[in-house]
Each structure stands twice: as C-alpha cells, then as structure tokens.
Amino acid sequence: MRIHFQLAAAVSLMALSAPAIAHEERAAAASAQASAEAEAVKTYTAEQFYNSTAFGLGSSGGHVFSADGEYVLINSDRSGVFNAYLLPVGGGEPIALTDSTTNAIFASTFFPDDNRIIYGSDGGGDELNHVYLRELDGSVRDLTPGEGHTASFAGWSADGESFYVSSNERNPQAFDIYVYDADDYSRELLFENPGQFFPGDMSDDGRWMVVSRNNSSADSDLFLVDLQGDKTPKLITEHEGNISYGSYGFTRDSSKLIYATNELGEFNQAMTYDLATGETAPYLKADWDVSFVSFSPSGRYRVSGVNADALTEVTLLDQQSGTEVALTGVPEGNLGGIRFSEDESRIAFTLSSDTSPSDIYVADLASGEAMRLTSALNPAIDEDDLVTATIGRFASYDGVEVPGVLYRPHGADAENPVPAIVWVHGGPGGQSRRGYNPAIQHLVNNGYAVYAINNRGSSGYGKTFFHMDDKRHGDADLKDVVASKAYLQGMDWVADDRIAIMGGSYGGYMVAAALAFEPEVFDAGVNIFGVTNWVRTLKSIPAWWGANRIALYDELGDPETDEERLRAISPLFHASNIVKPMLVVQGANDPRVLQVESDELVAAVKANGVPVEYVLFEDEGHGFRKKENRIEASEAYLTFVDEHIGR
C-alpha cells in the first residue's frame, strides 16, 4: 500500500482516473470507519474477563439429571474456585453442593435414584485426583484414600447398582478398574491391568471392556476384555504398518464396539466391530476427524461430532425416525457436552462461541425447544466489543500449508496497524481451536492481533501433518512458527516490527526455543510453564503416564539413548543466546513441567542481562484453576507485551 501511494503521488492529480479517485475515497472511508470502530470499542481488564463464570456439566459416563428431573449437575468457578452445584432445570440460581476455597472440585454424577453425588478433586493442581462421595446430609468420604496415586470415576453399571473407578494405587504405572457397591461402597478389583493398557469403555451388559495400547506415536491397538471370562485382553485390531485405533464406546444393545481408525485415509473414521462374529464395517465417515460418537440411554438418539477445521460440528440423530433433531432458541455457537435424561425426554448441553463462554441449556426432545439456564459472560462486557476469529493459512518455509486461528482487533487497518502475538498451543500434538478464550480476548480487546498457529505436528489436519514433527521438535515445528511472522507481516493491519510469541506447556517450550534458537525473530516472549530441558522432563514424567511412555519417547526421543539430540533442542542449554525480553509463568505444583524448569531458565536469562520477569503460583499445577490466579496471569501478559511491543 505504501509503494502504491508513493507512485500515485508522483503522478499529476489531473491524470488520475475516476476509478483511482474512487479507490482512494473508498480507502479513506474504510480507514475512517475503522478508526471510529476502534474508538467505539470499550476495553476491559483481565478481572472483568475472568469475572465471567465458567460452567460445565457432569461426566459423560454419569447421571447429570437428578432422579426427580428437577436439577442438572454442573461445575462452576462462580465462587472463584471450581465447585459442584445443582442447577434448577426450570431456571434459577445454582445451589452449591461443595464449598472448597482451595482445591478445584469437579462433579461427575448423581446416583441413579437420589441426589448423592460423586466428584473428583486433586491437591492444588498436583493431578493426584481422588474420588469423593457426597452423601445426602452433606458429609463427604474419600472413596480412594491413600497417598501418591490418582483415580477417577469410570461410569455406572446399567442396573445402577454399582459404579466403576479407575485407580493406579496398586501399580503407579497401571490403571486398574474397581467396581463399587452403590449402597455400602464396598469394592472389588474388576480388572488388574498388566501395565501397558489404557482402560476404556464398558458394555451395558457388563461383560465387555475395551482397552487400548500404544505401540508408537503413530501406531496403536484395541483389545477386548471379557469381564465374565478370564479377563485376558484379546487383540481385535491386528494390522501391519502405522495405524491408530481408538474407542468411541459400545452400542446400547452391547452387540458392537464403535471404534476410530485412520486406516482408510488421513482422518479418523468410525467403524463397528461385531462382538459375536468379529466382523468390522464402516459406520460414520467425514472429511475431517470424527471426534466422538455416543448414545442416549436406550440408544434411540446418536450424538456425533466432527472436528471440522478447528470447530466441532455436532449432529443429534433420532435413529428411530432417521432425522436430525432440530433445536430452537439456540444461538449460533459450539454445541457440546450433550447429556440425556434417563427417560430421554430432555437433554442438557453447553453452548459457546468465540465471543461467549459456555452456557448451559436444556431442551425438550419432542419439541426441540431449548431454554438457557446460565449467563456466563460478565454483564459488564458488551459481546460486540469482542472479536470473532477466522481461519488463516499460509505456505510455510518448505511450502507446507499451515493453518491457524486469527483474531483481528476492531479498528485495525493499514492506517492503524496493531502489534501481534503468535500463540502456540500445548501438546505436542494439540490444536488451537475456535471458541472462547478469555486470555486471548483480553489481549485482542486491548489492541493485539493474535494468531493461534497450528504448526505441523498439530492434531486435526490428518495423520501426515500430525507426524511431520516427530523427533524434529525445535526444528520443523519452530520453522513453521518463525514463518508465521512473515505471514503476519504481510497483513497491512499488523505492525510488522512489533511481533511477540506466547504459549503454554509445549507452547511455552516453543517460546523459549524461538528466543534461544532464532533470537532475532520475535520481539518478546511469554513462556507459560514451558519445557526447557527435555532430558529432565522426559525422565521425570509422572508415573501414571507409564503406559504412554512408548508413544512419548517415539515422538520426542528416549532420554537414555537420545540425550545428545534432546539437549540440542532444549532451550536451557542455549539460554546464552536469548537477547529478547521474556515473561515466565509457572505453577509450583506442576507434575508435568517441574518448577525447576522455569527457575533455571529465568536465572540463565538474567545472567545475560536481558529483561526477564517471573510469576510463580504456589497453589497451581499445570494450568491455572483459581480465578484470582488466572486474573493475575492475564494482567501480567498484557503488562509485559505493553512494555515490550506496545499497543
């Protein structure tokens, strides 16, 4: 645009054609409109964004509607810490069932015939989750007592007389399945895990359980366990080459397993496995990954989701009539978490969008009429001031097309260019997706463009793309991130000399790697609990990741045999190269990325004489669950980028 303007200025105004004049007038009008739009947008603090309320429904394997149909079981941080609540189906304020002020609590299920509940909670983010029972009188008991293990609710028996719990108390590297009596809470060991399996779904008739095993990062298998037989896992996905399999669960009549596989192409498709004959057949196919398949209690309704370009498309099918259920009174957004009442007359679900957090709705299945039960977005925020994302793609350093989620602030144009932030997701193997993110919206609302890159190695774009960074971390993936800067610089509404990088976990690693290995590319970096020393991280992975170790080492490298390469891609050992400012944010209880990872990096960057800031939360783990800590972190992000790349 600047070159065009300079050339036009050298030409006599009399020589300009009418179309050229019209173009200039339109450009001036657009700029004026953008400026007016920017002035009209109100900016908000992190506290205002996080004073929105998070809502979520109980577990998909549990009873979310109360036995009398009057309530749904939800989780919310409305008190500042996640707790369990009853939400009246007819409308009204949530009723607190728990009142934790320290550890987050997440409700799983009602009991089938009364309002006892089961919930999970860990210790300050240490991921050592225990399963708790809340009695009708409000008293609580730990169903999984002890130290050093983690457990989770794993579903109900079809008759409601017992429930299942997964726990690694016997062997830290293996999750066993216990069955609990719903009346006296006595238990017995149902499945003793030999160690290499991940327990999965169970059939409604109580006979079958599916378990999975990782052979490598690109290859996995499914096994069936006959819980009424010898309980030895039986391989049902015999194959050659790299094919991945996963379970979607059993049909309600317990005749078939529905499973995921990428054996037919780039994306996961749904297949069926007949439990009586062993025959397989196609079930559900899409042009993207089929994310999930589930059923109502009788099997009449089928819910399926497809991960279509970072946005989940959900279908609710009435299999009796063969028609999709159309819901009315539901605004455009991302529908998720569908839970059925036992009589299948109603569903509860969540709905969110780029500009609105998840709210909870209930809908009558006969009429399709939906009713909104919550208002998650802080009423002090005008949703029109927030930004709806778009999908942006660019050709990377070697021509591979790389997608990402792009947020353009209101009023940003060629005359009002804004600084930008490249946001890298966690993983490796994660995906930045459409949907509400208060940290991103806070930055965008305060004048920053954000490009949430899905660099090679991200999920959701096919198995070839997913494995392009295997044992090439800090190389192929980093080159994509570096190339995204040029993509942003090609936009006339981006200030091309003020671009930072930001991310958490694996994304935090990418921040540190960018500043250490490409020290002049980005103008600043925000590293949120990022790995800095892969040798130490891979040696210290939590015990309960034991069954995943093979796949993890296959993708990243074995620290016992590949230490030299892992040291070469670890930013800590190259921190002397860092010359650009960095903010580091860490949870002291993080079991995945230990605090020492951040401590040592901060010390090394300080030794360079480079500006570095450190925010440490003593009561958080891998991700921040307390509202006050999320507010503090988000304010720190904004203050830091304001100082180093400006608005």
Q: Kindly report the CATH number assigned to the domain that includes residue 591.
A: 3.40.50.1820
User: Residue 332: what pLDDT?
Assistant: 85
Q: In terms of pLDDT, which residue wins out, 39 or 408? A: 408
When divided into structural domains, the chain yields a total of 1
User: Residue 544: what pLDDT?
Assistant: 76
Q: Model confidence over 273-302: pLDDT tens digits? A: 999 999 999 999 999 999 999 999 999 999
Q: Looking at the domain assignment, is residue 400 inside a domain?
A: yes
- Which of 153-162, 324-333, 353-362 is predicted least confidently? 324-333
Query: Residue 362: in which H helix or E strand, if any?
Result: strand 356-364
According to DSSP, the β-strands at 105-110 and 95-96 are: unpaired
**DSSP annotation string for 491-526:** STTEEEEEEEEEEETHHHHHHHHHHHHSTTT-S-EE
For residue 502, what are the domain limits? 387-645
Q: Looking at the domain assignment, is residue 600 inside a domain?
A: yes
Q: Looking at the domain assignment, is residue 626 inside a domain?
A: yes
Per-residue pLDDT band for 32 (boundaries 50, 70, 90) equals low
Q: How far apart are CA 567 and CA 588, in angstroms?
A: 24
User: Residue 460: what pLDDT?
Assistant: 97
Mean pLDDT for 209-214 is 96
Per-residue pLDDT band for 560 (boundaries 50, 70, 90) equals very high
Nearest to 644 by CA among 509, 453, 499: 499
Q: Residue 475: what residue type?
A: D
Q: Model confidence over 571-609: pLDDT tens digits? A: 999 999 999 999 999 999 999 999 999 999 999 999 999
- Which of 233-242, 276-285, 552-561, 570-579 is predicted least confidently? 552-561
* Long-range CB contacts for residues 90-99, cutoff 8 Å, separation at least 24: 91/371, 91/373, 94/374, 95/71, 97/134, 98/134, 98/140
Q: Looking at the domain assignment, is residue 395 inside a domain?
A: yes
The model's pTM is 0.91
% residues pLDDT > 90 (the chain): 89
Nearest to 425 by CA among 481, 385, 349: 481
According to DSSP, the β-strands at 418-424 and 494-504 are: parallel
Q: How far apart are CA 258 and CA 281, in angstroms?
A: 10
Q: At what angle do helices 438-445 and 627-645 cross, to 10 degrees?
A: 40
% residues pLDDT > 70 (the chain): 94
Mean pLDDT for 222-250 is 97
User: Residue 590: what pLDDT?
Assistant: 92
Q: At what angle do helices 476-489 and 506-517 cross, to 10 degrees?
A: 80
Number of H helices, E strands in the chain: 12, 36
Task: Specify which residues 155 forms β-bridges with.
Answer: 164
Degrees, nearest 5: CA angle 207-345-162 = 30
Q: How far apart are CA 153 and CA 408, in angstroms?
A: 41
- Supply the mean pLDDT for the chain: 93
Q: Is the omega angle on the peptide bond into residue 428 within 30 degrees of 0, that is, cis? A: yes
Per-residue pLDDT band for 2 (boundaries 50, 70, 90) equals very low
Please state whether 337 falls in left (phi above 0), alpha (psi between -120 and 50) or beta. left
Mean pLDDT for 512-527 is 98
User: Residue 333: what pLDDT?
Assistant: 87
Mean pLDDT for 431-447 is 97
Q: Looking at the domain assignment, is residue 481 inside a domain?
A: yes
Q: Looking at the domain assignment, is residue 174 inside a domain?
A: no
Q: Exposed (0-12), middle (13-18) or buried (19+): which is 109, by Cβ within 10 Å?
A: buried
User: Residue 647: what pLDDT?
Assistant: 72
Q: Looking at the domain assignment, is residue 375 inside a domain?
A: no
User: Residue 38: what pLDDT?
Assistant: 59
Whether the predicted pLDDT of 34 surpasses 90: no
Nearest to 281 by CA among 269, 299, 290: 269
User: Residue 3: what pLDDT?
Assistant: 29
User: Residue 36: what pLDDT?
Assistant: 57
Per-residue pLDDT band for 19 (boundaries 50, 70, 90) equals very low
Task: Specify which residues 302 forms β-bridges with.
Answer: 295, 317
Q: Looking at the domain assignment, is residue 121 inside a domain?
A: no
- Under DSSP, is residue 268 helix (H, G, I), strand (E, B) or coil? coil
Nearest to 269 by CA among 250, 253, 246: 246
Per-residue pLDDT band for 6 (boundaries 50, 70, 90) equals very low
Mean pLDDT for 210-225 is 96
Q: Model confidence over 361-377: pLDDT tens digits? A: 999 999 999 999 999 99
Q: Does residue 333 contact residue 356 with C-beta atoms inside 8 Å? A: yes
Residue with tokens 């819980």: 227
